[in-house]
């Protein structure tokens, strides 16, 4: 997996030994000509940092709640905007709050746990955030210090894998929720690939992670019946492409089949197919998905279209109900600002972390070329190999 990431410690345009020592003003940040300047990117990063609490926690917005997945997304925004110290504090918050089994609660509010259940996808995403941070900063020492946290998190995620490769979305003291979701499972696939990359970079072992990712990817590509359909949500549409599950012709067809259901000319994309509501985060994640599918011009157009959600201080509104021109919900969300920055980096190819999504897709394509047969379907009546449970 490591060879798929050209910005790993063996390379990178700035030289890994030097990047971590750069002063903030000298750290490369992305820009998109005619759409978003470097100063505007730095302003968005500074705004996200202004919402961060002394503990390192990054809530959805000032006074809002925190969940582990969006917290990591916000930390990635800090990384790409040159706020490396704030990003490390964010990851430190997860290190300090990780439970003994490797999980985190679903939700905090004002420093208190308000939902103690476990979401497998929420636990997995730290691997993506930390690998991204390492690609950008080259800070191997920090990556090493966070390895036990990543290892424990992905091990608890693997206890949620079902017998046909699907991932149960959550668990609680009552047991596992035996329901698999496309969006969350796709994101877990991406996280497992990043976890393997971290292990290889550090010379550590990650027993079963690649195999688990292969099983999960096959289930997502070839067995939609294993997952609860959420077809009204745009994330279920593009996440298998974003996270490197579906590549090549399958990815192109998936994007094209529902383009008209979600894309709103000049505004971005809908969150839900039957509502007149465009959202910045989904639009920028779709930009990242288009980039993985080699559709740069369409990605740039969607990125440009969503900038109506930007405020002068660098913050971004979550969404717009375009039927009446109202912002909704009435919140400026940290994770929306963060994914704008990630999309800007992917479009501009600025930091070594710009490839965090694109090269997992390249890795998938390479693996599929080396395997016989059609990876997108199984013959009628064919039984996929079962996976031994690790619960």
Q: pLDDT at position 380, please?
A: 62
Asked if the peptide bond before residue 329 counts as cis, ω within 30 degrees of 0, the response is: yes
- Identify the CATH number of the domain in which residue 356 sits: 1.50.10.10
- For residue 381, being part of any structural domain is answered with no
Q: pLDDT at position 16, please?
A: 40
Q: pLDDT at position 372, please?
A: 56
Nearest 10 degrees: CA dihedral of 296, 352, 337, 43? -110
- For residue 24, being part of any structural domain is answered with yes
- For residue 388, being part of any structural domain is answered with no
Q: Which two tokens stand for residue 182?
A: 């496309």
Q: pLDDT at position 368, please?
A: 85
Q: pLDDT at position 389, please?
A: 39
- For residue 375, being part of any structural domain is answered with no
Q: pLDDT at position 178, please?
A: 92
- For residue 209, being part of any structural domain is answered with yes
pTM for the whole thing? Answer: 0.94
- What residue ranges of the chain have pLDDT lower than 50? 1-4, 7-18, 385-391
Overall domain count for the chain: 1
- For residue 146, being part of any structural domain is answered with yes
- For residue 376, being part of any structural domain is answered with no
User: Residue 296 is part of which domain span?
Assistant: 2-369
- For residue 380, being part of any structural domain is answered with no
């Amino acid at each position: 997996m490591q060879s798929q990431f050209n910005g790993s410690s063996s390379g990178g345009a700035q030289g890994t030994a030097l990047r971590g020592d750069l002063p903030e003003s000298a750290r490369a940040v992305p820009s998109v000509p005619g759409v978003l300047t470097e100063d505007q990117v730095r302003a968005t990063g500074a705004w996200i940092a202004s919402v961060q609490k002394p503990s390192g926690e990054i809530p959805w917005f000032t006074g809002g709640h925190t969940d582990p997945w969006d917290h990591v997304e916000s930390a990635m925004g800090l990384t790409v905007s040159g706020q490396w110290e704030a990003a490390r504090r964010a990851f430190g918050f997860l290190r300090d709050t990780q439970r003994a089994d490797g999980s985190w609660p679903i939700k905090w509010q004002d420093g208190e746990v308000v939902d103690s259940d476990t979401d497998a996808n929420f636990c997995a995403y730290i691997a993506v955030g930390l690998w991204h941070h390492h690609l950008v900063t080259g800070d191997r020492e920090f990556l090493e210090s966070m390895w036990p946290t990543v290892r424990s998190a992905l091990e608890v995620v693997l206890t949620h894998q079902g017998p046909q490769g699907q991932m149960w979305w959550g668990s609680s003291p009552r047991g596992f929720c035996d329901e698999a979701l496309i969006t969350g499972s796709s994101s877990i696939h991406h996280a497992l690939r990043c976890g393997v990359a971290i292990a290889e970079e550090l010379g550590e072992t990650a027993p079963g992670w690649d195999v688990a990712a292969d099983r999960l990817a096959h289930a997502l590509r070839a067995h939609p019946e294993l997952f609860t359909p959420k077809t009204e949500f745009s994330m279920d549409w593009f996440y298998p492409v974003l996270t490197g599950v579906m590549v090549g012709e399958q990815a192109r067809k998936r994007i094209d089949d529902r383009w008209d259901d979600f894309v709103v000319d000049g505004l971005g994309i809908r969150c839900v197919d039957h509502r007149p509501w465009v959202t910045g985060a989904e639009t920028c994640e779709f930009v990242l998905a288009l980039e993985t599918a080699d559709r740069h011009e369409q990605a740039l157009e969607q990125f440009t279209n969503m900038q109506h959600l930007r405020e002068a201080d660098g913050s971004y509104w979550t969404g717009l109900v375009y039927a009446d021109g109202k912002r909704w919900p009435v919140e400026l969300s940290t994770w929306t600002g963060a994914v704008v920055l990630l999309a800007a980096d992917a479009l501009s190819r600025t930091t070594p972390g710009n490839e965090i999504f694109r090269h997992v897709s390249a890795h998938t394509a390479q693996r599929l070329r080396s395997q016989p047969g059609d990876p997108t379907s199984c013959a009628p009546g064919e039984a996929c190999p079962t996976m031994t449970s690790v619960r």
